[in-house]
Amino acid sequence: MDERTKITVPRLQQMKQEGRPITMLTAYDYPTALLVDRAGIDVILVGDSLGMVVLGYESTLPVTMDEMIHHCKAVRRGAHYALLVGDMPFMSYQSEVYEAVKNAGRFLKEAGMDAVKLEGGRDYVPVVEAIVRAGIPVMGHIGLTPQFIARLGGFKVQGRTAQAARALLEDAKALEAAGCFALVLEAIPDRVAARITEAVRIPTIGIGAGPHCDGQVLVTHDLIGLFDRFVPRFVKQYTNIARQISEALAQYRREVLDGTFPGPEHRFTIKDEEWEAFEG
Ligand code: KIV
């Protein structure tokens, strides 16, 4: 078996050339990062989806840079092999190129990420170019971009008309030319994703974009059934960890109430002579 080495940006490029599928998952904390990294996943995304699945916000819009950095640092401590990508939150790159570069830099300098991801098409070419010029690898994200939910009018599949599909293809090419090293394609028809994947030399990583992308990404909390406020159609739930946790918590409560926990194996003892001396 090959000795495991850290995944790098050039390695992802090579995987596309070799036709080796790229695996990517989210993690927001140390224990999940450990598990995802141990599972051999190539890329860990500290996604701004953390706003919804771990912080309980209604959308990703309230997530701040400081929250992202806090979670990225925890993930960094747990993951040793996966390429680590920090997601730039809403309004950390949309207002000014200078702010965008400064914020992107924080992900590498303070949080130990290897790269950043940002949502948006060709309007964001100047931002991507400036961040890449600063030496920071950028992953693009087009299709359903949750930070633009107000403009998109909801969590809807994108690129379903010829015109919209053409616009996505143009966005993908523009982001590649701007220097993105990979592209997330979210919630777009499978044939459109396949066409984009053929048209660019950088890897595409799909979520709800069909099987013809160079890789796949899911939100880990969706895959393990830990977030059930809503489950998008493109999610495959591999387990229902929420049910298992609920059963364990209910059993703990029952056992405390009926006195079966703690049992003899969970208690500490004191020697008889010490006890007698203590009782005096
Ligand atoms: O924030 C996130 O988790 C994402 C993935 C869904 C790609 O952007």
Distance from residue 248's CA to the centre of ligand 1 (Å): 29
> Which tokens sit at 88?
């730039």
Report residue 273's pLDDT band, with 50, 70 and 90 as the boundaries: very high
CATH 3.20.20.60 residue ranges in the chain? 9-239
**To the nearest whole number, what is the mean pLDDT of the chain?**
97
Q: How many Å lie between the centroid of ligand 1 and the Cα of residue 47?
A: 5
For residue 1, pLDDT beyond 60 = no
Instruction: Establish whether residue 47 lines the binding site of ligand 1, counting it when its CB lies within 6 angstroms of any ligand atom.
Output: yes
Q: DSSP per residue over the chain, as a string?
A: -PPP----HHHHHHHHHHTPPEEEEE--SHHHHHHHHHTT-SEEEE-TTHHHHTS--SSSTT--HHHHHHHHHHHHHH-SSSEEEEEPPTTSSSS-HHHHHHHHHHHHHTT--SEEEEEBSGGGHHHHHHHHHTT--EEEEEES-GGGHHHHTSS-----SHHHHHHHHHHHHHHHHHT-SEEEEES--HHHHHHHHHH-SS-EEEESS-TTSSEEEE-HHHHTT---S---TT------HHHHHHHHHHHHHHHHHHT-SS-GGG-----HHHHHHHH-
Task: Give the pLDDT confidence of 85-124 residue by residue, as tens digits.
Answer: 999 999 999 999 999 999 999 999 999 999 999 999 999 9
Q: Is the CB of 48 under 6 A from ligand 1?
A: yes
**How far, CA to CA in Å, does 112 sit from each of 44, 72, 106, 259?**
13, 8, 9, 47
Q: Which atom of ligand 1 is nearest to the CA of 26?
A: 3
pTM: 0.96
Asked whether residue 2 carries a pLDDT value surpassing 70, the answer given is: no
Number of Cβ atoms within 10 Å of the Cβ of 177: 13
Predicted confidence (pLDDT) per residue in 120-152, tens digit: 999 999 999 999 999 999 999 999 999 998 899
Phi, psi of 215 (to 5 degrees): -160, 180
Examine the pLDDT at 181 and tell me if it is beyond 60: yes
Res 69 pLDDT > 90: yes
Does ligand 1 have an atom closer than 6 angstroms to the CB of 128? no
- If one compares 227 and 203, the residue with the highest pLDDT of the two is 203
Q: How far apart are CA 150 and CA 119, in angstroms?
A: 14
Q: List pLDDT tens digits, range 6-30.
A: 999 999 999 999 999 999 999 999 9
In this structure, what token pair is assigned to residue 211? 């099987």
| pLDDT per residue as tens digits for the range 222-260 | 999 998 788 889 999 999 999 999 999 999 999 999 999
9-239 adopts what CATH topology?
A: TIM Barrel (3.20.20)
